[in-house]
Amino acid sequence: MLRLFIYFRRSIKKSFDNLRNEKLKHNLLQAIPFWIGSLITGVFAVMYAKIFMWGEKLMNLIMDWNSWMIFIIAPIGFVLSWWLVKEFAPYAKGSGIPQVMAAVELANPKEHTKIRNLLSLKILVFKILSSLALIIGGGAIGREGPTIQIAGSVFRKVNEYLPDWWPKISKKNMIMTGAAAGLSAAFNTPLGGIVFAVEELSKTHINYFKTALFTAVIIAGLTAQTLAGSYLYLGYPKTADVALTVMFPVILVAGISGIFASQLSVVMLKISSWKKRLKTNKAHIIFLVISALIIASLAYFVNREILGSGKEIMERTLFTENKHEDWYVPFFRMIGPALSFTSGGAGGIFAPALSAGASIGSVISGWIHLTPNETNVVILAGMVAFLTGITRAPFTSAIIVLEMTDRHSLIFHLMLAGMVSSLISLMVSKNSLYDSLKNTYLEELRKEEK
């Protein structure tokens, strides 16, 4: 009887060990593709950031050499950026975030084959080339949205190359994790990447992919830091000794930024809708040349800060004594993205939205004579609010700005700005820019199949 009991106990232990080893092996095999995708994403994010920075520097060098050159390079850049996308990768246009959102929605047994139109190696290549052409031409675009589509393409391709015997991984979770890793690597904001995946992309409970999401964000971020060094996107603005009364200008700036951002979204959607009526390439080229010349004229005759991502505005207003912009700069920082984003080329709106919000905060804080530290708080609040007005993701916007400046004491100020902007934006327009564009892409893809 004793021998039978010992044998029975050993059998149970052996079976349990085998089961545990099998489960460990299964979990490890499922994790490896996320690790590989994260490493590749980190490399691409750093490479793309350097290329994008080189493009902005080249544009400024050309203008320093002869400022009239903007009237030549702007039309060439706009047309070339549009042509690259149109001829080789139609769904590489714009930010890339709506395409990732559409891909997440298409990640089902019936429609998953359509994802290759939105996320692929070809998209990755022409996303970089098109945005480079547009930034050299003075386009007011950012690289963060494109980095998210690039990361989604990398993760989708890694998933596609897995052998048949490999444990199956949810396409939806793979794409969402890739997007989070891309944002983390682009801004060096790991928490922002996680919150973005949950707030903007995820329709499922985070428990289903939380481990993969966290590890992917960490690996992508560490890879980017290893290659580019540990850095903050904006550094450490001074915000000490600010009274609680600063909440009133924070609310004011948040409300104004929310109105302007949501109106900008409406304008961009109307321009995109109008452009669909242009049936010929000649008509598109005429529109692009006119758009480029408008931006070039504003840059040449009034203020060069309309060009590029706008990071210089954020750095100057936060870290120098020259904190207050002229009243017209916020409008310029909206005209530039409106014409650049709707050009049909590749380019994001994250950084331009942040710079537009910074300029609004800068102008208003100058009007009401705030101290330098209070001005910094209001500028950061404007950044959160304007980005929220575009994305309708207040927590993502607050966490991103919090992480890129390391100002944890302002968490309530920034979240308040995001929430006020979110409420105001809903009054202007119910749907966000990204949601509207996502629905457009889904409609186009489903129509193509029919």
Question: Residue 300's pLDDT is what?
Answer: 92
Question: Residue 335's pLDDT is what?
Answer: 93
Q: Is the pLDDT of residue 6 over 60?
A: no
In Å, how far from its chain's centre is CA 448? Answer: 27
Question: Which CATH architecture fits 34-228?
Answer: Orthogonal Bundle (1.10)
Find the range with the poorest average confidence among 121-130, 158-167, 364-373, 383-392: 158-167
67 CB neighbour count, 10 Å cutoff: 14
**CA 329 to each of CA 143, 196, 199, 359: distance values in angstroms, whole numbers, following the listed order:** 21, 29, 31, 7
Listed in order, the ranges of the chain carrying CATH 1.10.3080.10 are 34-228, 244-446
**CA 343 to each of CA 84, 118, 287: distance values in angstroms, whole numbers, following the listed order:** 12, 19, 8
Express each pLDDT in 58-86 by its tens digit: 999 999 999 999 999 999 999 999 999 99
Question: Residue 5's pLDDT is what?
Answer: 38
Question: Which letter does DSSP use for residue 167 in this model?
Answer: P
**Residue 283, helix vs strand vs coil:** helix
Express each pLDDT in 92-101 by its tens digit: 998 889 999 9
Question: Residue 40's pLDDT is what?
Answer: 92
**CA 20 to each of CA 10, 26, 207: distance values in angstroms, whole numbers, following the listed order:** 15, 10, 21
Q: List Cβ neighbours of 370 (8 Å cut-off, separation of 6 or more).
A: 246, 249, 378
Q: Is the pLDDT of residue 122 over 70?
A: yes
**CA 442 to each of CA 176, 301, 335, 438: distance values in angstroms, whole numbers, following the listed order:** 17, 41, 28, 6
The pTM is what?
A: 0.89
Q: Is the pLDDT of residue 9 over 90?
A: no
> Residue 323 corresponds to which amino acid?
K
Q: CATH assignment of 244-446, given 1.20.58.1690, 1.10.3080.10, 3.40.50.1220, 3.30.365.10?
A: 1.10.3080.10
Q: Is the pLDDT of residue 1 over 60?
A: no
Is there a contact between 335 and 294 (Cβ–Cβ < 8 Å)? yes
Mean residue pLDDT of the chain comes to: 86
Residue 187: which H helix or E strand, with range?
Answer: helix 171-187
Burial of 214 by CB count in 10 Å (0-12 exposed, 13-18 middle, 19+ buried)? middle
Cα–Cα distance between 421 and 394 in angstroms, integer? 8
Record the tokens describing residue 147, joined without a space. 């980095």
Q: Is the pLDDT of residue 361 over 90?
A: yes
Q: Is the pLDDT of residue 377 over 50?
A: yes
Return left, alpha or beta for 310; rule: phi > 0 is left, psi -120 to 50 is alpha, else beta: left
Question: Residue 427's pLDDT is what?
Answer: 87
Mean pLDDT value of segment 152-166: 88
Q: Is the pLDDT of residue 249 over 90?
A: yes
Cα–Cα distance between 89 and 1 in angstroms, integer? 73
